[in-house]
Structure 1
């Protein structure tokens, strides 16, 4: 297997593609984990190759996870699956999917569109930026991606072929543990400066009911192959501006539950809401306005998903299901409670870990950061344990606001 580096990548691109007409190219390694520079790369080696006319991204998967080094082995075939799912999603939602230009199966390399004309959403949220079209865009992306890779639309044989083609066992096993089992992927930070926050987290995770409910959500994640999911959809994998949105990093893709991607993404908005509640370097009115925006985004994401799912259902549902009364409603009822459960698990697992969490890591005051993480723990715990009782997205928003009010009054970490 050839290893691409900043030294040989120009020659590789010129030899294997006709993307550039000149040999005068520049190279930038953009695969570092560095929240201060708005980078959050853990898994692969990613380079930007460019000149004054054009730029592309070259991505290589090596047989290990970059962040942890060669001791953490990982199949490089994830690269091929990512390329294939980009092509597939490009046929369903091209406006939200980066273009691909080249695939090298032997060396686990592919070349795709450079999205540097957009910004990484997570770090823009950290800066209190607003994206008025995002809820509609992500709702459409998720609903159409889900519906058109499900058996609601595909014939049974094609659906089974998708399941077989996107087993993606190694990447699945990471998420099956990382998103549901505390400490399974990133070690717990027992040296955190705020021992009270650590104690709160320890108390939460000492509850058998918390562990049980996480395993219940894990069971859904592992066993329900309803549609082709992204598998790692968080705000660092969304490139965006006021008008456009593109989704990247689909190497965790496999056939999973409709609800996982939205739940995993909503977790980031809960963490941002918790962080902005306590950012003491921002005026109270600005903070509150942005917290309202974050919660409204959660609400609208869900509502647009339901809108576009209904639209796909009416337009392209297989004939055999059209006479089954209540079928769509049963899917959407289950969808909401699972979204809430997946969001809770994703946040609870990552808090107090050595992997870092940029939503909180950018906070300047340690007390603010600890209070924000503490609020998230309380919200996540409630969502996980009460997900089946929450019957609407509006009810969820009201619950989050009530929990925050009570937390500020009674439970601030000093």
Structure 2
């Protein structure tokens, strides 16, 4: 396998992707070298510009990249699955997925559209920007891609073949160990060591293992499995979703939960820093994003079911309602588990890095952890989006008053 570098990339493109015009001066940027938010970068990614043309070249290697310099082995074949996933989702929701230009399976490389004409959602939200309709667009993306890759729509043999194609065991192992068992490939941070004492609570463990089992064994539809604000680019009404290498056939609630977790971290951090335009309006916006997420997911899924589900399912709308009702408590649980794990990463999370005062930073992380524990333990009693948002607000108010 050819290992791509800045030095051999142009000759690689000349051979494999001659459509890219190199007659003008070419600029190559290795993404992750000086990024504001390098956490999570595990691939070798290059942005190549020539005149007005710009592309992304992404290569999966066995030794992952990390800002901490830690090495961790992952299957390079994840690159091939990600490219297939891009093509599949592009066919379902073309407005939300970048163009794929080339797949080179031999070298575990693909070339795709550069979406840097949009804003990195996570960085923009940390800076206090608001994107109207963000929750609705994310809900539509998740619901449509889930429905059209589910057994509700696909013939059973096609669905089983799809699930088999996307077993993706090597990448699933990362989430199975990291999110659910809190076994990070990175060393623990001293600032968050006191939070680890509560991880052995029997009730918390029971909820954790129940959700982990569903994540490992459920095959409801293809899920992104790493869908957070850091993997979304936005501008106005435009949105693109990237980084689909964790895709596999899993529980639909997981993507909802993983995204809501990335909004909760912003919410908790905002309580301990000065926000442009005022913290109250910003937090109201974040709660609206979460409400829109679930409302639009339900609306889109229901519309697709009533129009395109297989006849037996289409005739039973009450089952569609029951299926969607069951997603909420699991989504809350998955989001809470991701929050517990990320709270143990503490100051390494971009949302909390924006808090300059060290003591307030620790308080924000403690709130994030406390809220996550509360949501995980109460998830079975959460029957509506209002119930969920009420827990978020109540938990925040109680923590602030206690401090």
2:280 aligned to which of 273, 276, 288:
288
CA RMSD of aligned residues (A): 1.7
Please tell me whether residue 225 in structure 1 is matched to residue 219 in structure 2.
yes
Aligned equivalents of 1:41, 1:210: Cα separation in 2: 26
The answer (yes or no) to whether the contact 2:232–2:241 under 8 Å persists in 1 is yes
CA gap of 1:394–1:326, structure 2 versus 1, over 3 A, is: same
2:244 aligned to which of 250, 261, 267:
250
1:306 corresponds to which residue?
A: 298
The answer (yes or no) to whether the contact 1:177–1:185 under 8 Å persists in 2 is no
Task: Measure how far apart 1:399 and its partner are.
Answer: 1.5
Please tell me whether residue 46 in structure 1 is matched to residue 45 in structure 2.
yes
Aligned equivalents of 2:366, 2:346: Cα separation in 1: 17
Please tell me whether residue 100 in structure 1 is matched to residue 94 in structure 2.
no
1:126 corresponds to which residue?
A: 126
1:73 corresponds to which residue?
A: 73
Deviating beyond 4 angstroms after TM superposition, the runs of 4 or more aligned structure 1 residues are: 68-71
Task: Measure how far apart 1:325 and its partner are.
Answer: 5.9
Q: What pairs up with 1:10-409 in 2 under 5 angstroms?
A: 10-23=10-23, 24-32=25-33, 34=35, 37-67=36-66, 71-189=71-189, 191-192=190-191, 198-199=193-194, 201-279=195-273, 281-282=274-275, 286-324=278-316, 326-353=318-345, 356-409=348-401
Task: Measure how far apart 1:69 and its partner are.
Answer: 6.2
Task: Measure how far apart 1:71 and its partner are.
Answer: 4.6
* TM-score, with structure 2 as normaliser: 0.95
Task: Measure how far apart 1:184 and its partner are.
Answer: 4.0
Aligned equivalents of 1:354, 1:404: Cα separation in 2: 18
The answer (yes or no) to whether the contact 1:133–1:242 under 8 Å persists in 2 is no
Aligned equivalents of 1:365, 1:252: Cα separation in 2: 35
Aligned equivalents of 1:299, 1:206: Cα separation in 2: 32
Aligned equivalents of 2:255, 2:34: Cα separation in 1: 23
The 3-state SS of whatever aligns with 2:130 is coil
Task: Measure how far apart 1:301 and its partner are.
Answer: 0.7
Aligned equivalents of 2:73, 2:196: Cα separation in 1: 30
Please tell me whether residue 7 in structure 1 is matched to residue 1 in structure 2.
no
Q: How many residues align?
A: 401
Q: Alpha-carbon deviations, 1:179-227, whole Å to 9, x = none? A: 11123443321x22xxxx642x134223122122111111111010110
CA gap of 1:158–1:355, structure 2 versus 1, over 3 A, is: farther
Question: Unaligned stretches of 5+ in structure 1?
Answer: none
The answer (yes or no) to whether the contact 2:128–2:275 under 8 Å persists in 1 is no
* TM-score, with structure 1 as normaliser: 0.93
Aligned equivalents of 1:276, 1:17: Cα separation in 2: 45
Task: Measure how far apart 1:355 and its partner are.
Answer: 8.6
Q: Alpha-carbon deviations, 1:128-172, whole Å to 9, x = none? A: 000002122111101100000000000000000101111111001
Task: Measure how far apart 1:322 and its partner are.
Answer: 2.9
The answer (yes or no) to whether the contact 1:341–1:384 under 8 Å persists in 2 is yes
The answer (yes or no) to whether the contact 1:135–1:301 under 8 Å persists in 2 is yes
Task: Measure how far apart 1:31 and its partner are.
Answer: 2.8
CA gap of 1:352–1:184, structure 2 versus 1, over 3 A, is: closer
Aligned equivalents of 1:381, 1:69: Cα separation in 2: 31
